[in-house]
Structure 1
Amino acid sequence: MSTPRFLDLPPGVAPQKIETPQGTFAALDARPVSGVIERWPALLVPGLTGSKEDFIAVLMTLAQSGRRVVAIDQRGQYETPGPDEPAAYTCPALGADVDALAQIIGGGDPVHLVGHSFGGLVAREAVIDGRTKFASFTLMSSGPGAIEGRRALGGRKIMAEVDAFGLEHVWTHRLEPEALANDVSDDILAFLRKRLLTNSPTALACMAKQVLTMHDRTDELRQIEVPTLVLYGEHDDGWPPETQSEMADRLGADSVVVPGAVHSPAVEAPETTAAALVRFWNAAEKHYLDTRSGVL
């Protein structure tokens, strides 16, 4: 079967397998078309039912800012295999994967870390655990604790249905009707089905439980000296925009509201999202270099 058009990779973006002490991770690796890498790299971590493909629309723009940008499938997601052991899918365990990936991708340089939705909770673990020095951290449509609202209800249903009936049932009775209601094209529908059914059922159920029960670690994150950005859509239906705004205030973090976007700014408003990330990353690097040189 041919690759769906929306998955055609832009120039400078290629699929890759990244070997780490934690295992092998499927990735999309974006580099400047010119081939010149002048800035620190970035690592992008997707959400609960997502994958590296959720970042396709922003990868080329981000890489053209002069850096390598890597989007991954987390352990047990889509093209990254995972075990049937539930303990492998706690946020601390998944955060250790992020540490391992960042250390390899950075090659000694700090890495800009972005976590979308549940991926933000996972990435936060990597920042707090202190194993890796990150250049910056972006929480994209991700909140301080357990997810709220409509998506919380959906997460509970997914967790129960995966346990009781399996992934095919979840697709047929929940995700496919939702996609059809949103007029999703046939090629995207085929990809979404393939992606869901390739997930580890154990991973999906355990990740859903994590996103529904996560406690607030904002105060712990604030203690980590890393430039932080809170970026979210103005109509986010996961963590309410006001919740994310309050989290940014508690963190003393920069905050960007993406007009018109809901829960997936990198898909719904890619140019605005990419521009905000590049501005933030460049400012974080300048601040680091100014601090190192004694400039205040």
Structure 2
Amino acid sequence: MSTPRFLTLPPGVSSEQIETPLGSFAALEALPVSGVPERWPALLVPGFTGSKEDFIAVLQTLAQAGRRVIAVDMRGQFETPGPDDPSAYSCAALGADIGAIAAAVGQGEPVHLLGHSFGGLVARETALNGASKLASLTLMSSGPAGIVGPRERMGRVMLAELPEYGLDYMWSNRMEPDALAAGVPDDIVAFLRKRLLANHPTGLVSMAHEVLGAPDRCAELAGCGLDLLVLYGEHDDGWPPLLQAEMARRLDAECVVVPGALHSPAVEAPETTAAALTRFWNAAESRLLQHQHG
């Protein structure tokens, strides 16, 4: 569970709805100070139990580099409603949603796609689908297959308890005690409760199955022809840093380790994270434009 550092929207960041043929998705949008983007847009996808608010600390900085930046709630997350059908929350189905959002955001231009944690597993499906016009793909604090370690254990606890006891129980007995023990401010704790209880329970159960059982698709992703970045915190408690470094090697991807950060670099080290993303996106953009112009 990511913990946003603050919830007040910075100047230049607004709440939006992204309309697609597959539905309407709640989003946060950041624009350059001029209001006129000069570079290709970026689309940010949150992780399991996360939301668009996990990116608040980097949105303004990323947009100042001259691009429109959109962070979304996936289907069934927080302010985007979802159906009762479990199959709507598979990585493939969510990846198709993200592809539709990318098309709406890009409006004919390539889009830089970033997926955080479980969102990385979804974003790679968008890339592998091949239907989206992407400028690059960033896997932030994500892995080659299903999650391992402490977060795997938490996922299995959720699968065991959520269908029987419900979201209120999960919050009161699992997540609230952890947040309070970590010294999370009261207003953020209130937000985390509101966010968790707004998730579609079927969506959470289905996403838990997906994040635990995802197959390794590195071989396919390595051949997708995109500029790839693997970015993670030095002390990530999700997929182990060494596993993510090995994934970057297998993907022939650029690899950035964010000093001092854990599983949510955009929250824990926003300036370092935003600088690394902007540099990577600008370089990927230049390479793609050079290629297009021969």
Classify the TM-score, shorter chain. Answer: over 0.9
- In structure 1, stretches of 5+ residues that fail to align are none
Cα distance in structure 1, aligned partners of 2:5 and 2:122: 30
**Paired residues for 1:242-281 under 5 Å:** 242-281=242-281
> How far did residue 33 of structure 1 move?
1.6
Cα deviations by residue, 1:22-41 (Å, 9 ceiling, x for unpaired): 11100001101221210000
* Paired position in structure 2 for 1:227: 227
- Distance change >3 Å, CA 5–CA 157, structure 1 → 2: closer
* Paired position in structure 1 for 2:186: 186
**Paired residues for 1:110-189 under 5 Å:** 110-189=110-189
Secondary structure of the structure 2 residue equivalent to 1:156: helix
Cα distance in structure 2, aligned partners of 1:36 and 1:22: 28
8 Å CA contact 1:20–1:104 kept in 2: the answer is yes
> How far did residue 5 of structure 1 move?
9.4
Cα distance in structure 2, aligned partners of 1:205 and 1:179: 21
Cα distance in structure 2, aligned partners of 1:210 and 1:201: 14
Task: Count the aligned residue pairs.
Answer: 291
Cα deviations by residue, 1:61-95 (Å, 9 ceiling, x for unpaired): 00000000000000000000000110100000000
* Paired position in structure 1 for 2:88: 88
Cα distance in structure 1, aligned partners of 2:118 and 2:287: 28
8 Å CA contact 1:57–1:270 kept in 2: the answer is yes
Give the fraction of aligned pairs with identical amino acids, expressed as a percent: 66
Cα distance in structure 1, aligned partners of 2:22 and 2:157: 30
Cα distance in structure 1, aligned partners of 2:238 and 2:5: 28
Cα distance in structure 1, aligned partners of 2:113 and 2:146: 21
* Paired position in structure 1 for 2:107: 107
Cα distance in structure 1, aligned partners of 2:160 and 2:63: 39
8 Å CA contact 1:5–1:187 kept in 2: the answer is no
> How far did residue 54 of structure 1 move?
0.1
* Alignment pair present for 1:56 and 2:41: no
* Paired position in structure 2 for 1:16: 16
Secondary structure of the structure 2 residue equivalent to 1:114: strand
Cα deviations by residue, 1:87-120 (Å, 9 ceiling, x for unpaired): 1000000000000000010000000000000000
**One-letter amino acid of the structure 1 residue matched with residue 90 of structure 2:** T
* Paired position in structure 1 for 2:77: 77
**One-letter amino acid of the structure 2 residue matched with residue 182 of structure 1:** A
> How far did residue 289 of structure 1 move?
1.2
Q: Where in structure 1 do 4 or more consecutive aligned residues deviate above 6 Å?
A: none
**One-letter amino acid of the structure 2 residue matched with residue 164 of structure 1:** E
> How far did residue 206 of structure 1 move?
0.5
* Alignment pair present for 1:198 and 2:198: yes
RMSD: 1.0
> How far did residue 279 of structure 1 move?
0.1
**One-letter amino acid of the structure 2 residue matched with residue 34 of structure 1:** S
Secondary structure of the structure 2 residue equivalent to 1:7: coil
* Paired position in structure 1 for 2:217: 217
> How far did residue 293 of structure 1 move?
2.3
**One-letter amino acid of the structure 1 residue matched with residue 125 of structure 2:** E
**One-letter amino acid of the structure 2 residue matched with residue 25 of structure 1:** F
